[in-house]
Amino acid sequence: MPFKPEYPGEVPTLGWHVLDFISSMLAAPDKGEYEPLILTPEQAQFVLNWYALDPVTGRRQYRRGVLSRPKGWGKSPILSAIACAEALAGVVPDGWDANGRPVGKPWLAVRTPLVQVAAVSEQQTANAWGPLLEMLRLGPALDHFDIEPLDSFVNLPRGRIMPVTSSASSAEGARAVFAIMDQTEEWKQGNGGKRFAEVIRKNAAKINGTTLESPNAYTPGEGSVAEESAAFYKNILEGRALDNGLLYDHREADSDTDLDDELSVMKGLSQAYGDSADVNGGWVDLKRLAAERLDPAMPPQIFRAYFLNQITHASDSWLSEPELKGVAAPDTELEPGTSITLGFDGSRKRARGVADATALVGCRVSDGHLFSLGVWEQPDGPAGRNWEVPKSEVHAAVAEAFKTYNVVGFFADPAKWESDVGEWEAKYISKHLQIRASQAHPIEFWMNGGRAVTIVRATEKLHNAIIDREITYDGSHVLTRHFLNARRRPGQKGLQIAKDFPDSPRKIDAAVAAILAFEARSHAVAKGLTGRKRSRRVTRL
C-alpha cells in the first residue's frame, strides 16, 4: 500500500529505525563502561534527513551527503554509528507496511555488504575507526549479531566493515554499500584524494550505495573534494544541477562574529556547536575554545575555520564568505522605476576548457544595493558541449532592465561584444543614460588598456564598500560564487582581480560586472542622481 503520512507534509524516513538500532545496539565511545549511545536532537535530525525516502517511489532521496561541523562537534561518532547501521540494520527501503509506514531490510538480505571508513591517511581513518570499534565491542550488538570487531576490520555475518586510505589499491573495484569520507577538506589532487573520491562514488553507484562526507570548513581555491561538493550544492540551489541527490548540512557562526569581543565569540561558538556546546547541554567547553583565539600561535583564519566552521578565504582571495554574508540582503525588493546603474561583462565560447560567463548586474543608485539581472554560464556535462551564450536572452535581459527601472548609467566591457554594445549605445543613449563612460562611447568601458588605473580604483571602491558594510547585495548564490572565485592580482597600476588561473572553471564575470555597475553608480552619486524613482516631465500650456 502507499505511504500514509501521520501529519501534513511528513517525509517518510528509515531514520527512526536507525535511531532505534543506534540506541539499543551501540555503546557510547570514550566512556570506559557501557552506556547506550544516545544522539543529540541535532544529530538525530541529521539521521532522519539522511534516510529520507521519496513518498511516491519509496527510494532513498539522497545518494551523497555532507555533514559539516566544527572540530569536536561529534562528527566521527555519528558517522561511525551510521556505518554500523549500514552494516547491520534495516537501511534498504522495502516498501510500506499495512499501515502505510516505511519498512527497511538489512543489506545482508540484498547482497554481501562492504562498509568503508575512508580517508587520505591512516591517522585520519582512526578518527572514525576507533569510536566504531568501541561501539561494537562494548555494546549489545556484539552478542546480538555474529560479528567480530578486530583491530583492522570487522567481520560481519557476511561481509566486512574496514578502513581504507587513498594509497590502498583495494579501493578500486571494492563496491561498498556505504562509505564514510572523512575530512574531505584535505582530499586534494596532490594526495590522491580527488581520484579516491571518484573511485568510491563510482563503486557505490554500481550497487545503489551511498557516501557521506564529514569535512571541516574548507579553504576556497584549493580544489578539495569538500569544496567541489559545496559547489555542487550551490549548483542545486541555482537550478543548474541535473541531479539533486545531495544532502548538504553545513552550519557556522554568524558572519559578524568579532574575534576581539569575547561575548561575540561565545555567541558564534554556541551557534556553530549547537547541541554539542556546554551552554546548550553538550560536552564542548566553549570558554576553553574561546581562549584559543588569544594564543599568538592561532591565526584568526584558522580559528574561524576550525572552531566557528566559517569558510573564510584563500590567502589571495579578494573577498571572504563571512564578509559577503555580512552584506547579504536577499529580501531586498526594488520598485519599478527605481534609479539604477548596470554593469556588463560578456564572453562567447571557448575552444577548450570552460567558457567564461556572461553577466548583467544592477546597482541601486540610492544605496548601492547590488543585484544579479542575469548570469549565463556553460552547463556541466554533455549539455555544455558546443555551448554558446544565448545572445537573445542577454539582449532581452538588458531590454527588460531599461523597461522596468530608470537606468541612469550602463558600463559594459565590450570584449567579444563590440557590435552588441554599439547597438545598446544607439538604442538607449537617447532614453535615460545620464552617465557616460566617455563622450564618444557612453556604454563601452574597456577593462584593459588605458583604463587600468580607473579599474584599480573601481575595484578598490567596491571592495572597501563591502568590507565596511556600506552597501548590500542580493545574496544570490551565483553572485556570491563569482565574488569568492576572484583572486587579488597586483599589477603596475595597482590591485585588480582575476581567476585563480587563466583556464579555471571558477568564473568571476559577475564580480567584474558588479564592479562596473558600482563604478557607474559612483558617477551617478557624484552627479547627484540619487532619486529613487524616474521623474515624470510635466508640460504646461
Name which of 52, 70, 77 is nearest 210 in CA terms. 52
Of 60-74, 273-287, 361-375, 426-440, the range with the lowest mean pLDDT is: 426-440
Query: Which domains, and CATH codes, for the chain?
Result: 61-92+111-250 (3.40.50.300), 262-312 (no CATH), 339-526 (3.30.420.240)
* Distance from the Cα of residue 332 to its chain's centroid: 22
Q: Specify the 3-state DSSP secondary structure of 184.
A: helix
Name which of 406, 411, 414, 342 is nearest 373 in CA terms. 342
Query: How far is it, in rounded angstroms, from Cα 251 to Cα 271?
Result: 8
pLDDT of residue 540: 35
pLDDT at residue 536 greater than cutoff 50: no
Query: How far is it, in rounded angstroms, from Cα 244 to Cα 237?
Result: 9
SS (H, E, C) 399-421: HHHHHHCEEEEEEEECCCCHHHH
Name which of 199, 240, 233, 209 is nearest 68 in CA terms. 233
What is the 8-class DSSP label of residue 47? H
Name which of 254, 132, 119 is nearest 193 in CA terms. 119
| Region of residue 58 (left: phi > 0; alpha: psi -120 to 50; beta: else) | left
Summarize the confidence of residues 225-247 as an average pLDDT. Answer: 89
pLDDT at residue 168 greater than cutoff 70: no
pLDDT at residue 451 greater than cutoff 80: no
What is the 8-class DSSP label of residue 379? P
pLDDT of residue 375: 95
Summarize the confidence of residues 234-262 as an average pLDDT. Answer: 89
pLDDT at residue 351 greater than cutoff 60: no
pLDDT of residue 501: 79
- 4, 10, 12, 429, 540 from 7: Cα distances, Å: 9, 6, 11, 58, 65
Q: Across the chain, what does the average pLDDT equal?
A: 90
Binned at pLDDT 50, 70 and 90, residue 539 comes out as very low
Query: How far is it, in rounded angstroms, from Cα 468 to Cα 393?
Result: 35
65 versus 452: the higher-pLDDT residue is 65
- Interacting residues of 317 by C-beta distance below 8 A, sequence separation 6+: 220, 221, 484, 486, 487, 488
